[in-house]
């Protein structure tokens, strides 16, 4: 390289000082003078200490994309598993509640047999219990069943299960356990 041909205008301040430490001023007096001039200009320029970010290599970009896709797949799998698990629990809660009501003598006496259910809804309740609301209809009457259930091992516990029959003001207690 010939003396005086280095363009220091795109150098950062750190790069200029590094070049100044390593330049042989006796062999390259013009480059040294240009370097010192570039440092003088740099002092007046705001933000000159900032180094330009290095562009990502093609390999780094590839691994970044692979990592982002893998993270997306893990999140999608976890969300799917959570949804499936909640759906299975809801199906189990619905079946268990319907079976409990269909075998309950007080519900059978008030509604008749067979009992059909609809509009099943749940809400979380304290201590791992779930609030249940179920519309039930039989040959004699229809009504709404409310209460809480909690799974204990493989068994379900029914607490404060009540049946309010349409047209009646009192509720029929369906469960023997209270909260």
Confidence of residue 115 (pLDDT cuts 50, 70, 90): confident
Three-state DSSP state, 146:
strand
Q: Count CA within 13 A, CB hemisphere, residue 2.
A: 2
- Stretch among 8-12, 29-33, 162-166 having the lowest mean pLDDT: 8-12
* Helix residue ranges per DSSP H, the chain: 13-22, 29-44, 58-103, 105-111
Question: Taking all residues of the chain, what is their mean pLDDT, rounded to a whole number?
Answer: 84
pLDDT at 46: 65
pLDDT at 98: 82
Average pLDDT estimate for 79-108: 85
**Contact (CB, 8 A) for 157 and 96:** no
Nearest alpha carbon to residue 16 among 28, 31, 30: 31
If one counts every other C-beta atom within 10 angstroms of the C-beta of residue 136, the result is: 24
Confidence of residue 1 (pLDDT cuts 50, 70, 90): low
* Percent of the chain surpassing pLDDT 70: 91
Confidence of residue 81 (pLDDT cuts 50, 70, 90): very high
């Amino acid at each position: 390289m010939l003396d005086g041909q280095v363009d220091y205008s795109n150098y950062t301040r750190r790069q200029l000082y590094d070049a100044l430490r390593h330049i042989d001023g006796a062999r390259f007096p013009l480059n040294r003078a240009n370097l010192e001039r570039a440092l003088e200009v740099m002092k007046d320029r705001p933000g000159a200490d900032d180094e330009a970010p290095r562009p990502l290599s093609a390999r780094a970009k590839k691994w970044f994309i692979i990592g982002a896709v893998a993270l997306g797949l893990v999140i999608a799998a976890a969300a799917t598993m959570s949804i499936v698990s909640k759906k299975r629990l809801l199906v189990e809660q619905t079946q268990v509640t319907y079976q409990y009501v269909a075998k309950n003598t007080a519900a059978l006496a008030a509604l008749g047999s067979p009992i059909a259910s609809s509009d099943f809804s749940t809400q979380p309740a304290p201590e791992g219990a779930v609030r249940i609301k179920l519309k039930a209809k039989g040959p004699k009457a229809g009504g709404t069943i409310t209460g809480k259930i909690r799974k204990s091992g493989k068994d379900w516990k029914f607490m404060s299960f009540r049946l309010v029959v349409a047209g009646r003001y009192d509720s029929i207690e369906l469960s023997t356990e209270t909260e």
